[in-house]
Amino acid sequence: MSPGKPTTKLEHILCPSDLSEKSQKVLGFATRISETLSAELTACHCAQANWFTAENRLPKDEYANLKSKLKAQIVASEDPLSSLKWRSIIVENSFDPATDIVTLAREISADLIVMKARPGILSAFRFGSIVERIVEDSPCPVLLLPSRFLAKHDPRTEPFEFHRILFDYDFSEATDELFRVANTLTRDYHAELHVLSVLALASNTATEAAPVPRSRTAVRTIIRRRLDEALHAEGRSVMDVPTSVEFGRHTETVLSYAREHQIDLICTTLAPAHFYFEKFYSTYLGSLLKSATCPILVKRSPRSSKTKDFI
C-alpha cells in the first residue's frame, strides 16, 4: 500500500445459519475468516414464525438448544488459542429470514456477510431465494460458498486460506467499494491479486469493429490505463498485480481465467436487475455458482447504478 493511504479493515462479520450441515460448515469458515482478519463474528439463526399462534417466543430449552448448536460449531472450528470475539443471535418469530438478516447486518454495521449458496434456480421462483434477496439488499459485500466448495472442505480440520484472488473489474458504481474489500483480503491473507476486465462480444462476431468505435487493441489500451488508475488509487501497481483485458462471454471468460490461474476467490459486482423476472440465479452469478469450485465475493450495484465512462 502507498505511504499514508488509509487501510480498509473488515471489523464485523455476520454469518446466518439454518443449522443444516452445509450452513454450519459455512459458520466454521466464517470463524476461520474472522480469526485471520481479527474481526468480530456474529452468528445468527432465524427461527421460523408460527403462522397460527399469536405468541411466537421460543421455549427456553429450545432457545438454549439453538444457541448451543451455533456455539458448538464456532468452538469446533476456532483455534484454541484464538482471541476471537463472537456472539450468537436467535431471531425469533421470523416470517422473512432474508429481511431479518439484512436488517441485522445494518444494525450491527456488518462489513461482510458469509453464507452458503445453492447452484440451482428452483428456489428463486418463489419471490426470489433467500440468498438472492440478501445480495440484492445487503449494505455490505456477501461471500458465497458454493456447494461444490463445501463438499470438499471442512473448517474443523483444515485452514481457510486465499492464495490467489481474482477481481472481475467492470467499472460499475459498486466496483470501487468491492475493490477495497478485495485489497483488504489480499493484504491480510498475503495473497496474490489478479484483475480481469471482460468485454462482451457483439452478437455478430464477424463484424468485430461494429460495437466499438476503436479497434480492440485501442480499447484494451484504454481499459488497461483505467485499471492502472484504479490500482494506483488503492496503493497498488500494474507492476505487481497481473491485469488482463479479454473479449468474450463474461461467465466463461471468468471461469476459464480462474481455472488457468488456480484462483481461490472470485470477486465480482452485479448490475441491478432491469425486470422483476431477471433473477441473478438465471444470469451471470447463477452461472458462476453452477460451475465455480471456489468462494465468490459479490456486491450488488445500486438500482440507479450506471457504468463509468472509461473511453
| Same domain assignment for residues 244 and 271 | yes
Q: How does pLDDT run across 193-207, given as a tens digit for each residue? A: 999 999 876 544 444
Q: Is residue 232 part of a domain?
A: yes
| Same domain assignment for residues 145 and 178 | no
Owner of C-alpha cell 500494474: 238
Residue 47 has pLDDT above 60, yes or no: yes
| Same domain assignment for residues 123 and 181 | no
Shortest CA distance to 169 belongs to which of 152, 205, 193? 193
Q: Is residue 305 part of a domain?
A: no
| Same domain assignment for residues 133 and 190 | no
| Number of domains composing the chain | 2
* CA 71 to each of CA 62, 214, 221: distance values in angstroms, whole numbers, following the listed order: 14, 58, 52
| Same domain assignment for residues 75 and 187 | no
Domain boundary among 150, 175, 193: 150
Q: How does pLDDT run across 115-167, given as a tens digit for each residue? A: 998 755 444 433 357 888 899 899 999 999 998 899 999 999 888 899 999 99
Average pLDDT value for residue range 87-110: 94
| Same domain assignment for residues 89 and 120 | yes
Domain range spanning residue 295?
164-300
> What is the CATH classification number for the domain harbouring 247?
3.40.50.620
Distance, CA of 16 to CA of 90 (rounded, Å): 10
pTM here? Answer: 0.86
Q: Is residue 157 part of a domain?
A: no
| Same domain assignment for residues 139 and 169 | no
Q: Is residue 92 part of a domain?
A: yes
Amino acid at 121: I
Helix (H, G, I), strand (E, B) or coil at 11: coil
| Same domain assignment for residues 293 and 170 | yes
Question: Which residues, in sequence order, are bridge partners of residue 144?
Answer: 115, 296
Q: Is residue 155 part of a domain?
A: no
Helix (H, G, I), strand (E, B) or coil at 17: coil
Report percent pLDDT > 90 for the chain.
50
Domain boundary among 102, 123, 150: 150
